[in-house]
């Protein structure tokens, strides 16, 4: 994990489904960050993204239940239940209304929060919102890599998982690769559960119901960039853009994203 500094504070917040670990920094208008599956709020610290955002805003970055250092939920959750838990976090911190920035799985959670609890969301930013066809979602849910793994006394399963995770470590330092792998292991075989909720969720049914100002972004290498036009057709007045960054924009090249967020969030 990153070294503790006065700029980034860490805490646990009790919710109805377990304790949620989060990072906080800065002052001003509140901005909530919602991370990808397999990562945590730690991912937002890479490249100075969280610290850069905290120069203008009061940033709150929770670990989704079952990810990072947050508790495993007591059962399988649906994506709307993840969104409801995020609402608990926001209100539990005494925040009346916040801008919400979600990345990939976090974008779907943020979308659902904005639709189901619009009174909590000032502005919404969707980073690489996953849009698949129904057939694609069904096929992905059946892929072996999204099934729980089995621990073995020999530890061979760790090497198998390590090799699989190396496919998404381009641009990371050795320490960041180490941290990312530990965060993947922390929840155990249940680490895939937010993805199962994601594969059962259809954003196209929720996007037309958005009532808050929304910005949809994708990195130049993000496979979901090709869905931005479809998102724009479903949400009149939405802003969209492709940024010159990788799939995890806040982790590898945060400057363009920080500039765009400052312009949109005000």
The domain spans of the chain are 9-265
- Residue for token digits 């100075």? 48
Q: At what angle do helices 174-185 and 156-165 cross, to 10 degrees?
A: 120
Structural contact between residues 241 and 260, judged by C-beta atoms closer than 8 angstroms = yes
For residues 35 and 41, what is the distance between their CA atoms, to the nearest angstrom?
A: 6
| Segment 201-227, tens digit of pLDDT | 999 999 999 999 999 999 888 889 999
pLDDT band at 12 (very low <50, low <70, confident <90, very high): very high
Q: What is the mean pLDDT of the chain?
A: 91
Nearest to 25 by CA among 57, 71, 69: 57
Residue of higher predicted confidence among 252 and 145: 145
For residues 261 and 255, what is the distance between their CA atoms, to the nearest angstrom?
A: 10
Q: Is 169 exposed, middle or buried (0-12, 13-18, 19+ CB in 10 A)?
A: middle
Q: What Å distances lie between residue 190 and 73, 94, 127, 136, 187, CA to CA? A: 10, 30, 24, 22, 6
pTM of the model: 0.93
Domain 9-265: give its CATH superfamily: Alpha/Beta hydrolase fold, catalytic domain (3.40.50.1820)
pLDDT band at 6 (very low <50, low <70, confident <90, very high): very low
């Amino acid at each position: 994990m990153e070294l503790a500094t006065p700029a980034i504070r860490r805490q646990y917040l009790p919710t109805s489904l377990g304790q949620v670990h989060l990072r906080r920094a800065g002052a001003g208008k509140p901005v909530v960050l919602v991370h990808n599956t397999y990562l945590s709020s730690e991912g937002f610290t890479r490249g100075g993204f969280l610290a850069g955002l905290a120069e203008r805003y009061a940033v709150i970055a929770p670990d989704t239940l079952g990810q990072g250092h947050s508790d495993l939920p007591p059962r399988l959750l649906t994506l709307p239940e993840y969104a409801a838990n995020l609402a608990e976090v926001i209100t539990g911190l005494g925040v009346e209304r916040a801008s919400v920035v979600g990345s990939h799985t976090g974008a779907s959670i943020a979308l659902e929060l904005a639709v189901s609890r619009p009174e909590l969301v000032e502005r919404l930013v969707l980073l690489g919102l996953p849009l698949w066809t129904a057939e694609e979602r069904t096929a992905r849910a059946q892929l072996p890599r999204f099934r729980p793994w089995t621990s073995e006394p020999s530890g061979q399963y760790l090497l198998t998982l390590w090799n699989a995770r190396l496919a998404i470590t381009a641009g990371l330092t050795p320490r960041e690769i180490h941290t990312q792998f530990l965060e993947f292991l922390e929840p155990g075989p249940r680490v895939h559960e937010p993805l199962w909720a994601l594969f059962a969720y259809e954003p196209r049914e929720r996007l037309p119901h958005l009532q808050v100002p929304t910005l949809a972004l994708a990195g130049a290498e993000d496979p979901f960039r090709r869905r931005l036009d479809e998102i724009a057709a479903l949400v009149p007045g939405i802003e969209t853009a492709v940024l010159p960054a990788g799939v995890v924009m806040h982790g590898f090249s945060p400057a363009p994203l920080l500039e765009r967020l400052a312009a949109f969030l005000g």
